[in-house]
Amino acid sequence: MGGPPVSQSLARNLLHLIFSTKNRAPLLTAAVRPELNSYLAGILRHWDSPAIVVGSVEDHVHLLFCLSRNHALSKVVEEVKKSSSKWVKVKGPAFAEFHWQNGYGAFSVSQSNVPAVRAYVERQEEHHRKVTFQEEFRAFLKRHGVEYDERYVWD
């Protein structure tokens, strides 16, 4: 009957990834955002890290996804940013100098909190009528107990 049972490695790591355009330049127009969100989800799918929801506003993106157990977060983020930056740059002359910020924030999400995070990502435009990206990002860092040096968070 075959050999010994094969053990499995099981994991479900849900992450809320946030990063901005370089210097928070308001380059992500309403016309490009839906296609960008789909493209970002496609990159995540390619890296075995399926998106639950992707949302963006003019200067940053939020991605809630399940990180592959076969790829490091840093590699997935690098590929998401690199591939999407190349994609944005060919969307017209206004995007020729497009870049993402160098860093990012990634925060763990429990399965029970997925509906709340999904709703938060889907309401980004409404949320940012009252709060800047920097205020939002500082709040995430504080909520998740991430120590940081203000001099190195923004670029």
Residue 152: the pLDDT is: 85
Q: Residue 1 — very low, low, confident or very high, per pLDDT cuts 50/70/90? A: low
**Mean pLDDT, to the nearest integer, of 38-47?**
98
Question: For the chain, what is the mean pLDDT?
Answer: 94
Residue 4: the pLDDT is: 74
Residue 107: the pLDDT is: 97
**Mean pLDDT, to the nearest integer, of 50-79?**
97
Residue 10: the pLDDT is: 80
pTM over 0.85: yes
Residue 7: the pLDDT is: 77
d(CA 16, CA 122): 13
Percent residues over pLDDT 90 in the chain: 82
| Predicted confidence (pLDDT) per residue in 95-109, tens digit | 999 999 999 999 999
d(CA 59, CA 140): 17
d(CA 22, CA 63): 17
- CATH number for domain 13-153, candidates 3.90.1150.10, 3.40.50.10420, 3.30.1490.20, 3.30.70.1290: 3.30.70.1290
**Mean pLDDT, to the nearest integer, of 109-132?**
94
Residue 118: the pLDDT is: 97
| pLDDT at residue 67 greater than cutoff 90 | yes
| pLDDT at residue 154 greater than cutoff 90 | no
In the chain, where the domains are located: 13-153
- Amino acid symbol at 87: W
